[in-house]
Amino acid sequence: MHYLVFILSFLTFLNFSILFIPNDTSASSSKYPFQFKLQLVLKKYQNISRKGGWPLLDNGKTLRQGSSDLKRISILRKRLLLSGDLNPESKSNNKFDANLLKAVKRFQHRHGLLVDGLVGRMTQEALNVSVEHRVKQIKSNLNRKLWKNGTSDPQHILVNIADLKLSVIEKSHIIQEMRVIVGKDYRQTPLFSEKILYIVLNPYWYIPETIILKDFLPKIKKDLTFLKKNHIELYSNWKGEIYTITPEVIEWDTLDSHNLNFQFRQTPGPHNSMGRIKFIFPNDHAVFLHSTPDTFIFKMQSRAYSSGCIRIEDPVWLASYLTKNLTNWSREKILSVIDKGTPTKIELKSQVPIHIKYFTVWIDLNGLVHFRKDIYNRES
């Protein structure tokens, strides 16, 4: 398992071969170990750049073990040797052998790609990112504002948007991690830290106005049955005297941001966009964790599909973990309540911090340098 927050305890990282980083007693390295270690990585990549960088792989058929494209395989070997993925002691040849296969898989793992050992389009794109661009990425991630605050809590949850992963941490050890779906580029998930206060099973979805206006209203104007098909109810408001509104009495064609004076709510159930569980940590962005009925998205490499909130792959595990100190709750009870379909709020005694960060470069516990795509174009 890998993740950036655990850089605090690693001892090594790999470049050309395994490099043991000496202990440093200076105040800067002990106070900000991530910065110190990443600076060493930066020097290694700058050194590669000064020597001319690494070669680019020409377009061609997918390379795999046993491939006979000697020219491209030779370039691939040089490229992976320079980045430290191919063991320099491996036999020098132009074959796609077992050693090169291992190196390709190592590279894919470090870049968040499917680890299949095949050098196809996505792997070639990552291979052909210049060392100068990687240097720029490293410098961007050395920005103290990104990593300075929050991730030293003994127990916490970390979401790295760029890695599309959520990790649960206890005493600098990952005890669980899962894939997440984050905000689209034009509805980016914000960066902040809070504490998870409660969980809701079988939640209603109180639909934000921006989603109503941009996503739902055009569909409703075309087909009024859209509301019924999607189990959406209309209400006057959420304060004072609340009453339901019949969709047929609304002049939908004239509705816009100036006269939208009622509320939309989706009922609980398997159809609900929140899924069956949501995790609340009050914040100014109205962002929270939740499950989703669209679980197929978790199998995709690119998962920036939400409207800002974070959908998680295994919400039942996380709910069980957060309620483990509550005597009346267990995984079995959580599943039982979900099956009944009744909206249920669970107040948490232990309020676990959650940190939503954006790292495109980090070093894992095994000393491997990881890179991810800058999906929100924050480093351009």
Residue 288 lies in a domain: yes
Residue 22 lies in a domain: no
Residue 363 lies in a domain: no
pLDDT tens column, 305-354: 999 999 999 999 999 999 999 999 999 999 999 999 999 999 999 999 99
pLDDT, residue 34, reads 65
**120 shares its domain with 186:** no
Strand partners, 235: 244, 263
**121 shares its domain with 223:** no
**350 shares its domain with 201:** yes
Residue 13 lies in a domain: no
Residue 146 lies in a domain: no
Residue 54 lies in a domain: no
91: domain CATH number is 1.10.101
**248 shares its domain with 347:** yes
Indicate if the pLDDT at residue 18 is higher than 60.
no
pLDDT tens column, 117-131: 999 999 999 999 999
Lowest-pLDDT range, 5-9, 158-162, 174-178, 188-192? 5-9
Number of folded domains that form the chain: 2
Boundary-marking domain end, from 93, 113, 129? 129
If DSSP codes are grouped into helix, strand and coil, which group holds residue 254? helix
pLDDT, residue 23, reads 37
pLDDT tens column, 44-75: 999 999 999 999 999 999 999 999 999 999 99
**246 shares its domain with 322:** yes
Average of per-residue pLDDT across 243-267: 89
pLDDT tens column, 133-151: 999 999 999 875 655 555 6
Residue 25 lies in a domain: no
**122 shares its domain with 187:** no
Model confidence at 93, pLDDT cuts 50, 70, 90, reads: confident
Q: State percent of the chain over pLDDT 70.
A: 88
**Domain assignment of residue 93, given as a range:** 70-129
pLDDT, residue 162, reads 96
**96 shares its domain with 190:** no
Residues 6+ apart with CB under 8 A from 368: 2, 13, 14, 106, 109, 110
Separation CA 3–CA 372 (nearest Å): 12
- Please count the CA atoms within 13 angstroms of the CA of 56 that sit on its side-chain side: 8
Residue 140 lies in a domain: no
Among 269, 268, 250, 270, CA closest to 260: 250
By CB atoms closer than 10 A (0-12, 13-18, 19+), residue 200 is buried
Averaged confidence pLDDT in the chain: 88
**117 shares its domain with 186:** no
Average of per-residue pLDDT across 170-184: 94
